[in-house]
Amino acid sequence: MAASGRVGVGVLLVLLAAVVVVPLLPGDPSAVRLAGVGALWWFAACAAPVVAAVTTCAFLRPPTNAPSSRSNTTVATWASPVVLVTLAARVCAGTPDSPALVLVALVAPLFALLARSADPMPPTNGVVVLATTAAVGLVLWANLSVVADVARPMGVPRHTALVALAATAFLGMTWRAARRPVGDTGVLVGAAGVVLPLVVVGLSVAAPPWTAWTLTASRAVLTFGVTSAWVTDGRALERSATLVFVEPHRVTALTPGVYRVVEDTDAQRSTTREWSLAAGDALTLRPGDRLVLEAGTRIRFEPGKRVPGSAASGAAWADPPERRSPQTAAHVLGAALTLVGGALALLPRPGPRPWRRAVAGPALLLVLTLAVVCWGIYAVYAAPDLMLAAPPGAGLVELPAVVLSAPGGRALVATCVLALLLLWVATALALRDVLAAYAGPASADIAWAGLLTLAVVAGFWPGDPWRAWLAGCGLAAASVAAPRFAGGGAHAGLAGSLAGALAFAGLAAVGGRLPSWAGAVAAYPALVAAPLAWVVVRVAGAPRG
């Protein structure tokens, strides 16, 4: 790494360390309100991203010893639907790690750009090629699943969406073979399609993001609005769900069938009761009851009642107590190691270009990061019930239709879906470039087509796209990035890659059976697998005395 790159990476590491350490400091300075917004949010979602992007642009030294490339698809793997949708959903839900995750997701690709801006492609081995291929397949699957989920509000069935997405990716590859910059167009137009509806939503709610954050944080409870579709006409659940109620609530069944309610009789036992309801019958639930519902069940809630599964209050959404726990810090460290390592392995290597074109990637990532944070804030402010029993994050796409009347709102929803479709094509093409770098151009097209086909087949069984994406990044971090970072010869690198891949696979397989104190390892197996791979390379490459 060049000296300038080391300085830039040092700045990024300081930012990551701050977002981990500050919430653990005595007195909790991260919760101090500045202009109504928590200091941690100002830092993680505004100040630090700007500093990170400016630092990267200042210290980025792209190679310039070859004809200039106009491609902006270097960052397409990170400007992908699964990242944008999940970050917005985490902000909307107020998860304890959401501010840190926003910053980590931005810093990871910037770290990779600085670390590799003038670095030739290092040698690989068979394990690296296989692990990278598997990681690319997981990332393709994750993005396919997300876009198929968000297409549901437009009335597109999942199987139809999956086939159409694969077809657009193949069409994009055909266009690019004809030397048309379809990947660049997908990134730029897709980013515009994400930002434009957000601007319209902000104008419609007549509140800037920081004001919406402050007003949400001051609410005593997050409730169903009187105009919510869950209250007026009722809605059908996209997926099977178990709704937990913390206050008395009358739920009206709009789909006839058997409804199961799990009641806790004491600390050790629970009782399941089944109710056969006709359309229009109501079911009274008490605090602590859990309502088990199948996908497609249509129900209606009472207005003014707490949204099941939402934060206990606006204050708990803005500053959850779990944010100051060592477990959350461990999760943030796991996310940082997973995403930074994944970026080092899964971002296409930057081609020769002038500096002004090279900084377009960091600038684009900054804009998208700020956009998804604002999207999540507006969603919880205007409609905290959007994600109720929907695929992870998919309900947020309907935000414009909630705050705007038809047909304008529906048109903006269609714009969001189209934007994610374009970003999906750019991501798929960028991942093909990753395969070409590791396996060679001759094999890349065949491997990419096969992985895309497998991803479509796997997409017929809904899963958690974010977990699939993390699995791809984690596998790449443990078997590709960590051994490379450790240095060493070919034999040491092979040993490290094999150890990292096996450790990651083993931890991922037993993650659900790990004790609660090891929750960060269960969520991010690379937290153990990547350091293990590094140690193996250093030990195997040490001179024999």
Per-residue pLDDT, 180 = 61
pLDDT reported for residue 351: 58
**pLDDT for res 394:** 78
Angle between helices 326-346 and 526-541 (to 10 degrees): 60
**Top CATH class, 229-300:** mainly beta
Instruction: Domain ranges for the chain, please list them.
Output: 3-207+313-541, 229-300
Q: Give the contacts of 502 (CB within 8 A, at least 6 positions apart).
A: none
Q: How far is Cα 457 from Cα 455, in angstroms, rounded to an integer?
A: 5
**Residue (of 534, 499, 529) closest to 511 by Cα position:** 529
CA dihedral for 95, 96, 99, 103, sign (positive or negative) = negative
- Dihedral Cα 234, 238, 239, 243, nearest 10 deg: -30
The 3-state DSSP class for residue 290 equals: strand
Q: Which residues are registered as beta bridge partners of 272?
A: 262
The full DSSP string for 375-434 is HHHHHHHH-TTTTTTSSTTGGGGGHHHHHS-TTHHHHHHHHHHHHHHHHHHHHHHHHHHH
pLDDT of residue 82: 95
The per-residue pLDDT for range 195-214, each reduced to its tens digit, is: 999 999 999 999 999 999 99
Mean pLDDT of successive 10-residue stretches along the chain, which has 545 residues: 76 93 88 91 94 88 49 75 94 94 94 69 79 95 93 84 93 75 76 93 94 94 91 89 91 93 80 92 92 91 92 92 92 95 85 66 92 95 85 83 89 93 92 87 88 93 90 96 86 93 94 87 95 93 67
> Which pLDDT belongs to residue 3?
67
- Asked if residue 317 lies in contact with residue 505, where contact means CB atoms within 8 angstroms, the answer is no
Q: What integer pLDDT is reported at residue 540 of this predicted model?
A: 87
Q: Which amino acid is at 17?
A: A
